[in-house]
Structure 1
Amino acid sequence: MKENGVRVLKILGRDYPIKASASEERVLQEAADLLQQRLSESRQRFPAASKDELLVLTALNLCVPMLQQERQMREAEQRLAACIEQISRQLQA
């Protein structure tokens, strides 16, 4: 549902109205779909967990790969900077 730039996403049976531009709508819906999928997986793994606990556990599980990717990106940037520095020194020699 969409009204006046507000997108309503349903997560764990609750509606969340979120303002989103037209360009953000698709990725927002994809994020909500991913979250809902991961919440379903968490619910299967932790059937006795409350909705709040499911949200926290799912958020943590989503954050781990994000942090790993950020670390890998920083390491790649450092390697690239070192290569650029080495090339620059060789060109000046």
Structure 2
Amino acid sequence: MPEQVIFTLNVPTELKDDVIDNLITFTSITGFNLKKINGYSKEHSQFDIAEQVAGYRAIYQIEVLIALKEVQHLKASLNPICQPAKLKYWLTPVIESAHF
């Protein structure tokens, strides 16, 4: 098992600030990356009309480098925001992480 992972979370625009506020106060991480992406899905019934025509939804993707042992705490912290919206997340193992 890796010691660190990348926790990746896709967040709709309307929840972005709530998730960021939560992450800023989470003491087990030193920072995170935020990028705007276009999310494509075969299940786009939740998309508004413009998104259905375009075929994608503009969302944010957050990446957090975190110790594997802290992931459950992070998920518990984010759960009140993310669970009602059924937000998608995944973990990617980190082979190496260092500074030059």
What TM-score comes out, normalization by structure 1 length? 0.30
Q: Which one has a bigger Cα radius of gyration?
A: 1
In terms of fraction of residues, the more helix-rich structure is 1
In terms of fraction of residues, the more strand-rich structure is 2
What TM-score comes out, normalization by structure 2 length? 0.29
Q: Which of structures 1 and 2 has the larger relative contact order (alpha carbons within 8 angstroms, sep 6+)?
A: 2
